[in-house]
Amino acid sequence: MTGELGFPKARLSFSICVFDSLSSHTESLADPLYIVLRALVSHARNYGTVPNVAPLDEENFRTTRSRQVARLSSLLTMVLFTKESSFFHKVSSLEELIGKLIVDIGIASKAIMNDSSVHSANEWSVIDSAHFDLNTSLRETIIVLKSFLVAIPDKELEALEAEMNSSRYREIVSEPVAQYGHERWAPLTYEDIVGAKKAS
Protein backbone atom coordinates (compact mmCIF):
# COMPACT_ATOMS: atom_id res chain seq x y z
CA MET A 1 0.00 0.00 0.00
CA THR A 2 1.07 3.55 -0.62
CA GLY A 3 0.54 6.95 0.96
CA GLU A 4 -0.98 10.05 -0.61
CA LEU A 5 2.10 10.79 -2.71
CA GLY A 6 2.66 7.20 -3.79
CA PHE A 7 5.27 6.39 -1.12
CA PRO A 8 5.11 2.86 0.35
CA LYS A 9 3.63 3.14 3.82
CA ALA A 10 6.54 1.18 5.28
CA ARG A 11 8.95 3.75 3.88
CA LEU A 12 6.74 6.55 5.15
CA SER A 13 6.75 5.01 8.63
CA PHE A 14 10.53 4.74 8.50
CA SER A 15 10.78 8.41 7.51
CA ILE A 16 8.62 9.39 10.46
CA CYS A 17 10.94 7.44 12.79
CA VAL A 18 13.90 9.29 11.31
CA PHE A 19 12.32 12.67 11.95
CA ASP A 20 11.34 11.57 15.44
CA SER A 21 15.04 11.46 16.32
CA LEU A 22 16.12 14.39 14.13
CA SER A 23 15.61 17.03 16.80
CA SER A 24 17.73 15.24 19.40
CA HIS A 25 20.52 14.65 16.88
CA THR A 26 20.69 18.31 15.91
CA GLU A 27 20.77 19.29 19.58
CA SER A 28 23.71 16.93 20.03
CA LEU A 29 25.50 18.85 17.30
CA ALA A 30 24.67 22.20 18.88
CA ASP A 31 26.06 21.36 22.31
CA PRO A 32 29.74 21.18 21.24
CA LEU A 33 29.33 24.47 19.37
CA TYR A 34 28.03 26.18 22.49
CA ILE A 35 30.88 24.70 24.51
CA VAL A 36 33.50 26.06 22.10
CA LEU A 37 31.94 29.51 21.78
CA ARG A 38 31.42 29.98 25.51
CA ALA A 39 34.95 28.78 26.27
CA LEU A 40 36.43 31.30 23.85
CA VAL A 41 34.39 34.13 25.34
CA SER A 42 35.38 33.14 28.87
CA HIS A 43 39.06 33.00 27.93
CA ALA A 44 38.87 36.36 26.15
CA ARG A 45 37.35 37.90 29.26
CA ASN A 46 40.00 36.46 31.55
CA TYR A 47 43.10 36.98 29.41
CA GLY A 48 42.20 39.70 26.91
CA THR A 49 43.15 37.50 23.95
CA VAL A 50 40.91 38.34 21.01
CA PRO A 51 41.38 37.24 17.38
CA ASN A 52 40.57 39.07 14.19
CA VAL A 53 37.26 37.82 12.84
CA ALA A 54 35.29 38.55 9.70
CA PRO A 55 31.59 39.37 10.05
CA LEU A 56 28.97 36.83 9.07
CA ASP A 57 28.03 36.95 5.38
CA GLU A 58 24.30 36.78 4.70
CA GLU A 59 24.97 35.10 1.34
CA ASN A 60 26.14 32.02 3.24
CA PHE A 61 22.74 31.54 4.89
CA ARG A 62 19.28 30.57 3.64
CA THR A 63 16.70 31.32 6.32
CA THR A 64 15.33 34.83 6.65
CA ARG A 65 16.27 35.07 10.33
CA SER A 66 19.82 33.88 9.73
CA ARG A 67 20.32 36.31 6.87
CA GLN A 68 19.02 39.17 9.02
CA VAL A 69 21.43 38.34 11.84
CA ALA A 70 24.33 38.06 9.38
CA ARG A 71 23.40 41.35 7.71
CA LEU A 72 23.31 43.15 11.05
CA SER A 73 26.65 41.59 11.99
CA SER A 74 28.21 42.90 8.80
CA LEU A 75 26.74 46.40 9.11
CA LEU A 76 27.68 46.88 12.75
CA THR A 77 31.20 45.62 12.17
CA MET A 78 31.78 48.18 9.42
CA VAL A 79 30.17 51.10 11.22
CA LEU A 80 30.70 50.66 14.93
CA PHE A 81 32.65 47.75 16.33
CA THR A 82 36.29 47.50 17.33
CA LYS A 83 38.25 44.27 16.98
CA GLU A 84 37.22 43.16 20.49
CA SER A 85 33.53 43.92 20.20
CA SER A 86 33.41 42.42 16.68
CA PHE A 87 34.59 39.14 18.14
CA PHE A 88 32.08 39.15 21.00
CA HIS A 89 29.26 40.18 18.70
CA LYS A 90 30.04 37.41 16.21
CA VAL A 91 30.04 34.79 18.98
CA SER A 92 26.74 36.15 20.28
CA SER A 93 25.27 36.07 16.77
CA LEU A 94 26.34 32.46 16.26
CA GLU A 95 24.83 31.43 19.59
CA GLU A 96 21.58 33.14 18.65
CA LEU A 97 21.51 31.48 15.24
CA ILE A 98 22.26 28.00 16.56
CA GLY A 99 19.57 28.20 19.23
CA LYS A 100 16.91 29.42 16.80
CA LEU A 101 17.82 26.86 14.15
CA ILE A 102 17.58 23.99 16.64
CA VAL A 103 14.14 25.22 17.66
CA ASP A 104 13.00 25.53 14.03
CA ILE A 105 14.17 22.01 13.19
CA GLY A 106 12.44 20.58 16.25
CA ILE A 107 9.13 22.29 15.49
CA ALA A 108 9.17 21.32 11.80
CA SER A 109 10.15 17.72 12.57
CA LYS A 110 7.25 17.31 14.97
CA ALA A 111 4.87 18.86 12.42
CA ILE A 112 5.98 16.38 9.76
CA MET A 113 5.17 13.50 12.12
CA ASN A 114 1.55 14.68 12.37
CA ASP A 115 -0.86 13.05 9.94
CA SER A 116 -2.21 16.43 8.88
CA SER A 117 1.16 17.80 7.77
CA VAL A 118 3.35 14.82 6.96
CA HIS A 119 3.55 15.87 3.32
CA SER A 120 3.85 19.59 3.99
CA ALA A 121 6.40 21.13 1.61
CA ASN A 122 6.82 24.05 4.00
CA GLU A 123 8.12 21.91 6.88
CA TRP A 124 10.50 20.05 4.61
CA SER A 125 11.81 23.37 3.31
CA VAL A 126 12.28 24.70 6.85
CA ILE A 127 14.31 21.66 7.86
CA ASP A 128 16.44 21.79 4.72
CA SER A 129 17.23 25.50 5.12
CA ALA A 130 17.79 25.23 8.87
CA HIS A 131 20.19 22.33 8.43
CA PHE A 132 22.07 24.30 5.78
CA ASP A 133 22.40 27.27 8.13
CA LEU A 134 23.35 25.05 11.06
CA ASN A 135 26.15 23.59 8.95
CA THR A 136 27.24 27.13 8.04
CA SER A 137 27.26 28.02 11.74
CA LEU A 138 29.43 24.98 12.39
CA ARG A 139 31.94 26.13 9.76
CA GLU A 140 31.91 29.66 11.14
CA THR A 141 32.56 28.34 14.66
CA ILE A 142 35.52 26.33 13.36
CA ILE A 143 36.90 29.45 11.66
CA VAL A 144 36.57 31.47 14.87
CA LEU A 145 38.31 28.70 16.83
CA LYS A 146 41.17 28.53 14.32
CA SER A 147 41.55 32.32 14.44
CA PHE A 148 41.63 32.15 18.22
CA LEU A 149 44.33 29.47 18.18
CA VAL A 150 46.43 31.68 15.91
CA ALA A 151 46.08 34.66 18.25
CA ILE A 152 46.53 32.89 21.58
CA PRO A 153 50.01 32.75 23.17
CA ASP A 154 51.37 29.28 23.87
CA LYS A 155 51.32 29.93 27.60
CA GLU A 156 47.52 30.32 27.51
CA LEU A 157 46.75 27.03 25.72
CA GLU A 158 46.45 25.05 28.93
CA ALA A 159 44.04 27.62 30.33
CA LEU A 160 41.94 27.48 27.14
CA GLU A 161 41.74 23.70 27.43
CA ALA A 162 40.53 24.12 31.00
CA GLU A 163 37.88 26.58 29.79
CA MET A 164 36.69 24.04 27.22
CA ASN A 165 36.34 21.39 29.90
CA SER A 166 34.58 23.66 32.38
CA SER A 167 32.14 24.85 29.71
CA ARG A 168 30.77 21.31 29.51
CA TYR A 169 29.33 21.77 32.99
CA ARG A 170 27.98 25.28 32.63
CA GLU A 171 24.52 25.58 34.12
CA ILE A 172 21.65 24.96 31.70
CA VAL A 173 18.84 27.50 32.02
CA SER A 174 15.19 27.24 31.08
CA GLU A 175 14.64 30.69 29.55
CA PRO A 176 14.24 32.01 26.96
CA VAL A 177 14.52 28.88 24.79
CA ALA A 178 12.33 26.71 26.99
CA GLN A 179 9.21 28.36 25.58
CA TYR A 180 9.86 26.28 22.44
CA GLY A 181 10.27 23.07 24.40
CA HIS A 182 14.08 23.10 24.51
CA GLU A 183 16.49 23.82 27.34
CA ARG A 184 19.77 25.30 26.22
CA TRP A 185 22.48 27.68 27.27
CA ALA A 186 21.47 31.28 27.90
CA PRO A 187 22.50 33.45 24.92
CA LEU A 188 24.99 36.25 25.44
CA THR A 189 23.31 39.53 26.31
CA TYR A 190 24.34 43.06 25.40
CA GLU A 191 25.67 43.45 28.95
CA ASP A 192 27.81 40.33 28.46
CA ILE A 193 29.35 41.79 25.33
CA VAL A 194 30.02 45.19 26.88
CA GLY A 195 31.43 43.62 30.03
CA ALA A 196 33.68 41.34 28.02
CA LYS A 197 34.92 44.27 25.95
CA LYS A 198 35.79 46.29 29.07
CA ALA A 199 37.58 43.31 30.58
CA SER A 200 39.74 42.95 27.48
Which of 86-104 are b and which e, b meaning 16 or more Cβ less than 10 Å from the residue's Cβ? bbbbbbbbbbbbbbbbbbb
pLDDT above 90 covers a percentage of the chain that reads: 36
Is residue 190, in this structure, part of any structural domain at all? yes
Which tens digits make up the pLDDT trace of 148-193?
999 999 999 999 888 888 766 554 433 333 333 333 444 444 454 4
pLDDT single digits (tens) 115-130: 555 557 788 888 899 9
Residue 117, in any domain of the structure: yes
**Higher pLDDT among residues 68 and 119, named by residue:** 68
- Residue 131's closest CA among 54, 22, 32? 22
Residue 188 lies in a domain: yes
Domain extent, residue 134, equals: 23-199
The verdict on residue 9 lying in a domain is no
Q: Is residue 162 part of a domain?
A: yes
Tell me whether residue 1 is in a domain.
no
Q: Which positions ≥6 away from 107 have C-beta within 8 Å?
A: 126, 180
2 within some domain: no
Question: What does pTM read for this prediction?
Answer: 0.72
pLDDT at 142: 93
Q: Domain total for the chain? A: 1
